[in-house]
Amino acid sequence: MLEIPVIRWGKEYQSMGKTAVVHFETGETLAQVNEANGGLIKMDMRKAKKAREVLRQFSIQELVDKVAAAGELFENATLPLGNGEQSPDDFCRIQSATTGLPEHMCKFNMTKNAFVMKNMGDILDALTRGLPYDILSNGYGQEGRGVMVSYQANCNASGWVLPSNSPGVHTLWLPVIPLQIGLVMKPGKSEPWTPYRIYEAMAQAGIPREAFCLYPGAGDSGAELGGAVLESCERSVIFGGQATVEKYEGNPRISAHGPGFSKIILGDDVVDDWEKYLDLMVDSVYLNSGRSCISCSGIWASRHTEEIADAMAQRLGPIVPLPMSDPNAGLAAFTMAGAAKAMNGQIDGGCDSGAVTEVTAKYRDGDRFIEQERCDFLRPTVLHVSDPDDAMANTEFMFPFCSVVECPQDQMIRKIGYTLVGTCLTKDENFSRQLLDATNIDRLNIGEVKTLQLNWLQPHEGNIIDFLYRARAFQNSPPPAH
Amino acid sequence: MSDSPLDQKTAQAKETLDAHVRESVEWHFNPETGCDYWLNKAKTLDFDPRKDIQCFEDVKKFPLFEDEDLRGGPLDRWVPKGLAGKPTYVFETGGTTGIPKSRVVIEDHWIDYENFSETLPDEHFPRGANWLMLGPSGPRRLRLAVEHLAQHRGGICFCVDLDPRWVVKLLKKGKTEEAKAYAAHVIDQAVTILRANHNVQCMFATPKLLEALALRLMDDGGSIEDAGIKGIFAGGTEFTPQWYRFCKEELLGENVFITPTYGNTLMGLACGKPFDIADEYKITYFAPQPRAVIEVVQFDDYNKVVEVGETGRVKLYTFTKELFIPGFMERDEGEREPAIDVYPWHGISGTRPFHELLTTTTVGVY
């Protein structure tokens, strides 16, 4: 039996409490993870300063190089895991088996994480806007233009309370270690695999283990552990639902990442050519099984919406679940009991509205909800929504789901609400200016970019540099006379 | 069945329990000594308790006790006529919203804690030393019980103000920052007491508060041991094996003794099996028989106990002069444990919130 220890600043710890990570289809226990307790995390965080100290023994450039080497190991090497070891194929298989994500999607996400690690230098250069690394390391320094700048770390270690839905999310914490800040993770209950594998890859690449803590867990214990991470790290990131976002809103120590409500907007100037963008729209909804916050959940246009919805439904409606090992599998399983059924009920309830029509039903041979013994599936669903104020106009579910919303262009920006990724198809300069000024859109794409096509050189849900470091005044000589 | 010394003790304990049950039923269902609640309840039963209840197993003829009956007045209905006129306390559970459940007590909390006192090692809980009660105050049995324990052992008990109902309200509203501030306020009170030269060497604490106190003292460069504490007892389902180990290895250090307890306002206090490293921090509780009994029963039949080592729901019985509870389903589950020499009756380990009630119970709020 694979047994995964708690990692306490690089030291393995076997707990008295263990929880099973199980195969979502068979119920077989694939691993036992050791669960810490909240007080133990608080105790460990008292030593967070040492993590930063040990990382500062290396330059940021050295750490960037080591992370790149780790990316190679993560993608291609057989690495130790707990009391066993894991090849890249083992990794994809077990990740699929516990999360319900098809194996080829696990492989895709693995490649994505490796890409970010291998290109960390470019990413940091972009996120810091070319700031010389030693200014971050030393706390101050002169930029090329002769101006003194100072950046102070907000924390010695940052906490990450991670989800299980999509392993691509791990790209977000990868810059932490090269930024010389300790890394504290509470992995998702069915996805300890990526954090542990990257930890091991980074250690094998020469990054001190003393910079890492991993506290796996599930259920009530998992909630306690996540709470302790948030409470004791000076800067933390948590992933959750809308309630989680609202709970931590305004808390400068905690960045809560919730639903994305990502969208595609067709401007009046291009909407008559909507067919040209059909592939882009379908891929944005369907790829990665619609599991990401960057998956498109809404397509907004002022006209042709019924035709768009119908064309989308023709492509997505017939898709059925396939075995996880099938390279054509496009649908992830819901492994949490009752989750898919609840979503299905919400969608059915939403369809009671006179403004909402489910378009996929006529192209789907069977029900949307497929109940199996140990997991469930939801088949792709496209709704047409004729009223932008209807509740179903702006919602998100963790499967290929999309509302095609009819809305006049001059109301769109106001009505779309918060939008993590907004792909806006328009050449109208006036509309583009309004979109650029819209503060409810986080990542703005003006042009033919799928919502899932992230450029890693761009910040995501705020710049991690600004979260982990703060710009401040620093002087070591009097200013010029004035 | 073998006839080992433990078996003999177990058989003796069963005889004692059966005799105690007969005495208890005679007391509570005798019109001269029983309380109105049980005397009225007897009229609704299809058996005569005084005739038909002759041993512990017979108690299962009673329907399960519904603790909803404990809500509201008049409280006199619970006072046995045989104890009428004696000074009476009322202790409450719940009550964040609505009417709390109430239990009247005359001397039970004293007796329970005097019995518990006999299990505390003097080297870790020195007689004459003072105590800190770091737990809920207000209409709680625990506060007065711990105070009596301290006095019974020749000490004085220092207490803090802690209203768990307010904490539950904060948590239900998602006001975690305010809840943390309140916890800090409670810890401030404890630190003030410990630094005021009061010779406090013994403590009761909830796991969360003990943890917060120890970390606060560490932040200030001290420790629980430096503060003079030698012995602590703590309770609740949050006292897990992992937490026990964490306490012994990291939070308290090897010189501070800690022992787990389990109980509630109805039953009293169950003691933990004395620490043995061979148990790998498994925590096993034994009821204070014959005054109270814990059974681990099947989830689908609350009158059948599970086999040793199997999991079931906690069922409590109380047979004191003041209270008769013929089977109450506690909100916890756990594994049935075999009898041991010092407690020759079955125990329970792994106590945790009953899985079917997990979504409706707020545990460990203080």
pLDDT tens column, B349-358 = 999 888 887 5
Average pLDDT of the segment spanning A210-219: 95
With beta carbons under 8 A apart, name residues in chain A contacting B176.
Answer: 247
Q: Does B242 touch chain A (CB under 8 A)?
A: yes
Sign of CA dihedral A411, A416, A419, A424: negative
Alpha-carbon span A346 to A340, nearest angstrom = 10
State the complex-level ipTM.
Answer: 0.89
More confident of the two residues A166 and B272: B272
Q: Report the residue of A11, A19, A37, A221 to disrupt the B interface, i.e. the one with the largest count of B CBs within 10 Å.
A: A37
A35 CA to chain B: closest CA distance, Å? 8
- The alpha carbon torsion through A410, A415, A421, A422 (nearest 10 deg) reads -10
Q: Does A38 touch chain B (CB under 8 A)?
A: yes
Nearest residue on chain B to A221, judged by CA atoms? B238
Render pLDDT for A176-193 as a digit per residue (tens, 0 to 9).
999 999 999 999 999 999
| B5-69+80-92+100-360 CATH pick, 3.40.50.12780, 3.40.50.150, 3.40.50.2000, 3.30.1360.120 | 3.40.50.12780
Q: With CA atoms as reference, report the closest residue to B26 among B58, B4, B3, B1.
A: B58
With beta carbons under 8 A apart, name residues in chain B contacting A39.
Answer: 211, 215, 243, 246, 251
Q: Does the distance separating the beta carbons of B243 and A37 come in below 8 Å?
A: yes
With beta carbons under 8 A apart, name residues in chain B contacting A247.
Answer: 174, 176
Q: Of B174, B240, B244, which is closest to A247 when you measure between CB atoms?
A: B174
pLDDT of residue B361: 43
Q: How many residues does chain B have?
A: 366
Q: With CA atoms as reference, report the closest residue to A42 among B207, B17, B67, B35.
A: B207
Alpha-carbon span A409 to A431, nearest angstrom = 9
With beta carbons under 8 A apart, name residues in chain A contacting B349.
Answer: none
Render pLDDT for A30-69 as a digit per residue (tens, 0 to 9).
999 999 999 999 999 999 999 999 999 999 999 999 999 9
Q: Does the distance separating the beta carbons of A16 and B241 come in below 8 Å?
A: yes
What's the one-letter identity of residue B277?
I
CA angle A393, A398, A399 (to 5 degrees): 90
A224 CA to chain B: closest CA distance, Å? 11
Q: Of B180, B211, B240, which is closest to A17 when you measure between CB atoms?
A: B240
CA angle A178, A442, A295 (to 5 degrees): 90
Nearest residue on chain B to A15, judged by CA atoms? B242
Asked, as a colleague might, if the bond just before B74 is cis with ω within 30 of 0, I would say yes
Q: With CA atoms as reference, report the closest residue to A79 among A64, A65, A94.
A: A94
A238 CA to chain B: closest CA distance, Å? 15
pLDDT score of A162 more than 80: yes
Render pLDDT for B287-303 as a digit per residue (tens, 0 to 9).
999 999 999 999 999 99
Q: Does B174 touch chain A (CB under 8 A)?
A: yes
Kindly provide the residue ranges of all beta strands, DSSP E only, lying in chain B, ordered along the sequence.
89-93, 101-105, 130-134, 157-159, 200-205, 231-235, 257-264, 268-272, 284-286, 292-298, 301-305, 311-319, 324-337, 347-353
**Around Cβ A126, how many Cβ atoms within 10 Å?**
17
pLDDT of residue B267: 85
pLDDT of residue B1: 53
pLDDT of residue B366: 47
pLDDT of residue A177: 98
Q: Of A15, A42, A220, which is closest to B242 when you measure between CB atoms?
A: A15
> B1 CB contacts (<8 Å, ≥6 apart)?
B7
Q: Does B285 touch chain A (CB under 8 A)?
A: no
With beta carbons under 8 A apart, name residues in chain B contacting A43.
Answer: 215, 246, 250-251
pLDDT band at B360 (very low <50, low <70, confident <90, very high): very low
More confident of the two residues B237 and A140: A140
Q: What whole-number percentage of chain B has pLDDT above 90?
A: 84
pLDDT score of B13 more than 90: yes
Chain centroid, CA B195 distance in Å = 29
Mean pLDDT of chain A: 95
More confident of the two residues A456 and A170: A170
Sign of CA dihedral B198, B202, B208, B211: positive
Nearest residue on chain A to B359, judged by CA atoms? A220
pLDDT band at A480 (very low <50, low <70, confident <90, very high): confident
Render pLDDT for A351-401 as a digit per residue (tens, 0 to 9).
999 999 999 999 998 999 999 989 999 999 999 999 999 999 999 999 999
Nearest residue on chain B to A247, judged by CA atoms? B174
Which chain B residues in 321-340 lie under 8 Å from chain A, judged by CB atoms? none
Q: Of B215, B244, B245, which is closest to A42 when you measure between CB atoms?
A: B215
Q: Report the residue of B246, B275, B352, B355 to disrupt the A interface, i.e. the one with the largest count of A CBs within 10 Å.
A: B246
Alpha-carbon span B338 to B308, nearest angstrom = 6
Q: Does A247 touch chain B (CB under 8 A)?
A: yes
Q: How many CB pairs under 8 A join A and B?
A: 41
Alpha-carbon span B351 to B331, nearest angstrom = 10
pLDDT of residue A187: 97
pLDDT of residue B173: 86
Average pLDDT of the segment spanning B10-28: 98
| A2-258 CATH pick, 3.30.420.280, 3.40.605.10, 3.40.50.300, 3.40.1390.20 | 3.40.605.10
Task: Sketch the domain layout of chain A as residue ranges.
Answer: 2-258, 262-446
Mean pLDDT of chain B: 93
Render pLDDT for A56-110 as a digit per residue (tens, 0 to 9).
999 999 999 999 999 999 999 999 999 999 999 999 999 999 999 999 999 999 9
Q: Does B85 touch chain A (CB under 8 A)?
A: no
With beta carbons under 8 A apart, name residues in chain B contacting A9.
Answer: none
Superfamily (CATH) of domain A262-446: Aldehyde Dehydrogenase; Chain A, domain 2 (3.40.309.10)
Q: What whole-number percentage of chain A has pLDDT above 90?
A: 90
pLDDT score of B2 more than 70: no
Alpha-carbon span A291 to B84, nearest angstrom = 67
With beta carbons under 8 A apart, name residues in chain A contacting B178.
Answer: none
> A62 CB contacts (<8 Å, ≥6 apart)?
none
Q: Does B172 touch chain A (CB under 8 A)?
A: no
Distances in whole angstroms, Cα of residue B15 to Cα of each of A197, B56, B126, B321: 60, 9, 35, 19
Q: Does B250 touch chain A (CB under 8 A)?
A: yes
Question: At A431, which helix (H) or strand (E)?
Answer: helix A429-437
